[in-house]
Amino acid sequence: MNVIIYGTGKMAEFICYSFTKDSPYNVVAFCVDDAYVPPAGSTLQNLPILSFAQVTKDFPPDAYKMHIAIGRNSARESVYNKVSAAGYGFASYVSSKANVWPDLVMGHNTFIDQCCDIQPFVTIGNNCMLIGSRIGHHCTLEDNILLSGNILAGNVTVGKNSFLGINSAVKEDVIIGTHNIIGAGVFINKNTEDYAIITNASAPQRIGDSKRFVMFNKAQEAKPA
């Protein structure tokens, strides 16, 4: 099956390489928003960089899938919804080098890299990225999540649109609220509220900061190039 990678950043390059070297998919192009189209003939990894308008014109949904390779959760969610509304299906990727049990339940447009270790009875939602993470048994990850080099103990729930930074860890049975930003090296041993930002183990939860951060990101995404 042919797939188009949406995005041209370093994450998109990494994801394209992973699909090319370690999946049955054939990557045929990169895609960007119409406002960010580079000069005609531009390429990345010897593949063309196309506008979304051109993709919808020349690459029909019945013959091509998409993978949204954008790190920031809010931007990835916005593009995912746009691409889905255009009728495209999504390719997910699980590295052959990852330790994953066969009962994993996984949504669309999810990426699991080679350093992940995922125990049984885990559910992962749509549009998630897992980079070098260890996920304990009975964990639930909701939609639009980015995990980067962290550890979740058993029966943890991570709310939608949350980000957990490098070397963060979450105690068993904890619920991480939606739209959380958990900084590098933080240990979470109790439930968090929605929109919490926690930057180190001693700092109190700052409820509402993440909501302002999300609103700022959406405003930035709306600006033309």
DSSP strand pairing (99-100 vs 123-124):
unpaired
Q: Please say if the pLDDT value at position 223 is more than 50.
A: no
Residues in the chain: 225
Angle CA(194)–CA(122)–CA(112) in degrees, nearest 5?
Answer: 85
2-85, which class in CATH? alpha beta
- Report the half-sphere exposure of 210 (CA within 13 A, side-chain side): 25
Q: Is 198 annotated as a binding residue?
A: no
pLDDT of 15-53, one tens digit each? 999 999 999 999 999 999 999 988 888 999 999 999 999
pLDDT of 119-165, one tens digit each? 999 999 999 999 999 999 999 999 999 999 999 999 999 999 999 99
| pTM of the shown model | 0.89
> For residues 55 and 68, is the Cβ–Cβ distance under 8 A?
no
For domain 93-212, is the CATH number 3.30.450.20? no
Burial of 72 (0-12, 13-18, 19+ CB in 10 A): middle
Q: Is 149 annotated as a binding residue?
A: no
The residues spanned by each domain of the chain are 2-85, 93-212
Burial of 39 (0-12, 13-18, 19+ CB in 10 A): exposed
- What per-residue confidence (pLDDT) applies to 124? 98
How much is the mean pLDDT over the chain? 92
pLDDT of 212-222, one tens digit each? 655 545 555 54
- What per-residue confidence (pLDDT) applies to 207? 56
